[in-house]
Chains A and B, each alone.
Chain A
Amino acid sequence: MGILEIVIITMVKILIIVTIMLLTVSYLVYFERKISAWTQNRVGPNRVGYAGLLQPFADVFKLLLKEDIVPDVANKPIHTLAPILALIIAFGTYAVIPIGPSINLFGHEIAMVVADVNIGILYVLALTSIGVYAITFSGWSSGSKYSLLGGVRSSAQMISYEISMGFSIAGVLLFAESLRPLDIVASQSGFMWNALIQPIGFVTFVVSAFAETNRLPFDLPEAEPELVGGYHTEYSSMKFAAFFLAEYANMIIASALIVTLYLGGWQIPYIETLGLASWLTISLQVAGFFVKMGALLFFFIWVRWSLPRFRYDQLMNIGWKVMFPLSLINLIWAAILVMLLN
């Protein structure tokens, strides 16, 4: 393949992924509101378009048309940089997550992942760590005590949970013997899903993912009752929307990561034995990936509307005294399994 072809194919992939992401993000907001309404026996948005389906667009237009207010005491360059950083990181992470098996199009073998990187998982971990900066910057540069507290909380929380997250992933890597997402998916063929093999690691990873995405029950950085809006208190208009989008994009990435690492990625167990046409198999597998992801997203929202927020010391206790040892135990368990199976 020539350079030009690679560039064109990658561009098309990026376009598709970004479109999917933006659409999912906007409808995630819609479903967040709908599910919250259902759990509270309400109706939810139902005025804009059929059953409120155009509500996300109305929201976006509202935010676009609002005045962009920057506080006088804010550090303006960093105040502007923070939401951009948040968005770039949120969307950038998705590049390494495979949504399906490779397909053959016009004589080209095309992998259904934007960048097939050898160190994909490392890349994800690195980028999510940078994600802390977006929040810390926004908290620090706003020149408001609420924002600052939110930013500090967020960085402390993310650093503590990154560790148990990393150790949970280590167990997965032991099985896959690779950092490449495609290999990790391939290592979970059949029912060898990591969620079933190492359930402790699965639970620690999911909990850490909740903490990493700042979702309830770990949404201390934006705890409304105590911090007004947390790190984005001083943001308005499109900058606020950027944080909002980034939060939901992070949720999508977290669930895509969980699917890739623990739920067998795009694989549907034993679908090869059915003897379907290859195009049908592939589209079923891609659909399978999105169904798994959708179920996890529903789980994220469902948790948010069920559980109360942890207190800050409880959060740190769980992070260091519970999640960290548990992920270590999981690592040992995975190592023993690898030794026995080989």
Chain B
Amino acid sequence: MAKKKRMKDLTLLERIYLPEIAKGMALTFQNMFRPSFTMEYPEVKFEPPASYRGRPVLALEENGEERCVACGLCSRVCPALAIEVQAAETEREKERYPEKFEINMLRCIFCGFCEEVCPEEAIIMSKDYELAFSNREDAVYGKDKLLTPVSVLKDRIEFLRQYK
């Protein structure tokens, strides 16, 4: 019986190894002179695209008013139960505002449901990915840390208007 031919039999030259080894080595040698892909983190920081879901924040209008009307939808939809909202009333046009708005960053899973469900475009996923804290108390972000001017969030808001 004739010897079965494999899908790809090695030629003699390939079986000697050395020419193939030389080819491979030439490739790695070429790579030594290519620029590296490494981003040296603390010095060079990654600028995420608009589709990036970082830390959720509350939008703050230019005139200093917060967009949130404390409807509590985000809190309801949050699968990780990370958001706690307490509403209060004001004399302003929007009538309601969150007296207390806390996101527990130990619980948040960055799913972006809160952002999707928000009727006021008030809670928005920012590009912030540096979220280190050293104890549990610091992990609960209150309004002081959440309120962010709209100008910073422009990218994401445009992205949402286009694709949401």
Contacts and interface: CB of A to CB of B under 8 A. Distances in A.
Interface of A: 35, 37-43, 46, 203, 302-303, 305-307
Given A39-B29, A43-B36, 10 more contacts: A38-B31, A38-B32, A38-B36, A40-B31, A42-B36, A46-B40, A302-B25, A306-B27, A306-B28, A307-B21
B36 A35 contact: no
B28 A41 contact: no
B34 A41 contact: yes
B37 A42 contact: yes
Pick the 4 closest A-B CB pairs, nearest first.
A38-B32, A306-B28, A43-B38, A39-B28
Given A203-B18, A307-B21, A307-B24, A302 B36 contact: no
B49 interface: no
Nearest to A304: B28
8 contacts: A35-B32, A38-B32, A41-B35, A42-B38, A43-B40, A305-B28, A306-B27, A307-B24
Nearest to B24: A306
A306 B25 contact: yes
Nearest to A39: B28
Contacts of A43: 36, 38, 40
- The majority secondary structure among interface residues of chain B is helix
A302 B34 contact: no
A302 B28 contact: yes
B28 A37 contact: no
A248 to B, nearest CB: 20
Contacts of A37: 36
Contacts of A46: 40
Contacts of B18: 203
B31 to A, nearest CB: 5
A307 B27 CA distance: 11
Interface string B21-62: 100110111011011111010000000000000000000000
A302 B34 CA distance: 15
Contacts of A307: 21, 24-25
Contacts of A305: 28
B24 A302 contact: no
B35 to A, nearest CB: 7
Contacts of A302: 25, 28-29
A39 B22 CA distance: 15
A13 to B, nearest CB: 36
Contacts of B34: 41
A37 B32 CA distance: 8
Contacts of A203: 18
B36 A41 contact: yes
Contacts of B36: 37-38, 41-43
A34 to B, nearest CB: 10
A303 B21 CA distance: 9
B31 A39 contact: yes
B86 to A, nearest CB: 46
A329 to B, nearest CB: 14
Nearest to A310: B17
Q: Which of A37, A39, A42, A303 has the most CB of B within 10 A?
A: A39
A35 B34 CA distance: 12
B107 to A, nearest CB: 34
A303 B22 CA distance: 10
Contacts of B29: 39, 302
Contact of A303 (B25, B31, B32, B38): B25
Nearest to A37: B36
Nearest to B18: A203
A47 to B, nearest CB: 9
A306 B23 CA distance: 10
Nearest to B39: A43
Contacts of B40: 43, 46
A37 B40 CA distance: 14
A46 B38 CA distance: 12
Contacts of A42: 36-38
Contacts of B32: 35, 38-39
